[in-house]
Structure 1
Amino acid sequence: MTGAPVRLGGIHHAAYRCKDAKETVEWYGRVLGMDYTTAFAEDHVPSTGEYDPYMHVFLDAGNGNVLAFFELPNQTDMGRDENTPAWVQHLAFKVGSEDELLAAKEHIEAQGIEVLGPTHHGIFKSIYFFDPNGHRVELAADIGTAEQYAELRRVAPMMLDEWSQTKKAPRHADWLHEIAREEHAKAKTGA
């Protein structure tokens, strides 16, 4: 911690916009098993007082984490930041193991949803797909060792400093990419 007077207790919820609250609740329940827990609906925004009817729905993402969505029927159709690639902004959820990740992929594809991956990131593997609102969703399974995570934490300040100066990928964690390359080569040869 930085010594700042603020002491966070975790993320209360992360909120995104949706096209249809009911469709979104049903999709996250069916595809990811999230429980729909709470809704708020107002005609006036509590923080600003402006008239802008909304439905605000909350879903249990596990382990005390909450994902929320706003449906805003009086606003222009939702879009995305066209200056940011679609792969950048995403919701990432943790699953317990690589086996769970593969089972999730099978389940999601059986729903008729296109899934990319698994992608090997050295210390975790991920799959990617889109929700009905166009939000990219990632499921990730940690596979790294305690030593690998400790090394990443150790080199993080150096990587950020180098990035800030060069705007090129720092080489402090090349070993991480080598792990992913080796696994990819094994998968291609069936070894």
Structure 2
Amino acid sequence: MRKIQVQGVHHITLVGADRQTSIDFWEGLLGMPFVFEQPNLDNPGEGHLYFDPGDGRLITIFTNEDRTPDNRRTPTDPGCVHHLAFNLSRAVFSQVLERLKARGIANSGVKDRGFMDSIYFKDPLGLLIELACYKFEPPVGCTHAQVMLEAHKTRVAAGDDHIMEVHLADAIETLVARTQGTLSDRSGAGGA
């Protein structure tokens, strides 16, 4: 049977409360430009706000002025969204705790995930948000996913429980060897 091959996330749509709560959070806190607005074409009583998360794709929010924010944790039952994660540069990530504190937003503190660092907090409607920062940059022409695949293979071969920085470094070396040519013998120029 033939696949329906996807080529990335087109957009994610969330059910929001009022319009201003969405603008204050998505653009005001997370810096996502508010780029488009129209009625919800399936429910004209709602607004449909569009935000750019930084990669040209979209986060969209259905708003209704009759709904008010409720920051109790959203359901985590099977089929529900557990959290949304957004990529940050190391420079911005290093400022997150200070900036959340300045706004009085409770958070998890920095969590070391082996291949990335993460900070978690809830949006005004109780959805868990993760701000993540990779511990590596992929080689030119490669993606983070390709590095993760190679690091996973290295981790499994080593019998390690989770991906660590050594696996990332080895994965990057493997990808460079695979994608970049050299005139020398790759068996260890310069020693060990």
TM-score, normalising length from structure 1?
0.65
* Inter-partner Cα distance in structure 2 for 1:175 and 1:134: 29
* Inter-partner Cα distance in structure 1 for 2:162 and 2:62: 42
Could you tell me which residue of structure 1 aligns to residue 114 of structure 2?
122
Could you tell me which residue of structure 2 aligns to residue 58 of structure 1?
50
Gaps of 5+ in 1: 46-50, 159-170, 180-191
* Inter-partner Cα distance in structure 2 for 1:104 and 1:82: 25
Task: Name the count of aligned residue pairs.
Answer: 155
Deviates most, 142-151 or 51-60 = 142-151
SS at match of 2:104: coil
* Inter-partner Cα distance in structure 1 for 2:163 and 2:132: 16
Could you tell me which residue of structure 2 aligns to residue 20 of structure 1?
18
* Inter-partner Cα distance in structure 1 for 2:154 and 2:39: 46
Could you tell me which residue of structure 1 aligns to residue 153 of structure 2?
154
Contact 1:127–1:140 at 8 Å: present in 2 too? yes
The residue type equivalent to 1:92 in the other structure is: A
Which stretches of structure 1, 4 residues or longer, exceed 6 Å deviation after superposition? none
What aligned pairs does 1:64-103 form with structure 2 within 5 A after superposition? 64-72=56-64, 80-81=74-75, 83=77, 89-97=82-90, 99-103=91-95
What aligned pairs does 1:137-148 form with structure 2 within 5 A after superposition? 137-144=129-136
SS at match of 1:40: strand
Shift of residue 153 of structure 1? 4.4
Rg (Cα) greater in structure: 2
Shift of residue 94 of structure 1? 0.2
Contact 2:152–2:163 at 8 Å: present in 1 too? no
Could you tell me which residue of structure 2 aligns to residue 168 of structure 1?
none
The residue type equivalent to 1:95 in the other structure is: L
Contact 1:123–1:148 at 8 Å: present in 2 too? no
Shift of residue 65 of structure 1? 2.3
Q: Percent sequence identity over matched residues?
A: 23
Match of 2:161 among 165, 168, 174: 174
Give the number of the structure whose residues are more often helix, by fraction.
1
Give the number of the structure whose residues are more often strand, by fraction.
1
The 3 A distance-change label for structure 1 pair 13 and 40 is same
SS at match of 2:105: coil
Could you tell me which residue of structure 2 aligns to residue 107 of structure 1?
99
Could you tell me which residue of structure 2 aligns to residue 9 of structure 1?
7
- Structure 1 vs Structure 2 CA RMSD: 3.6
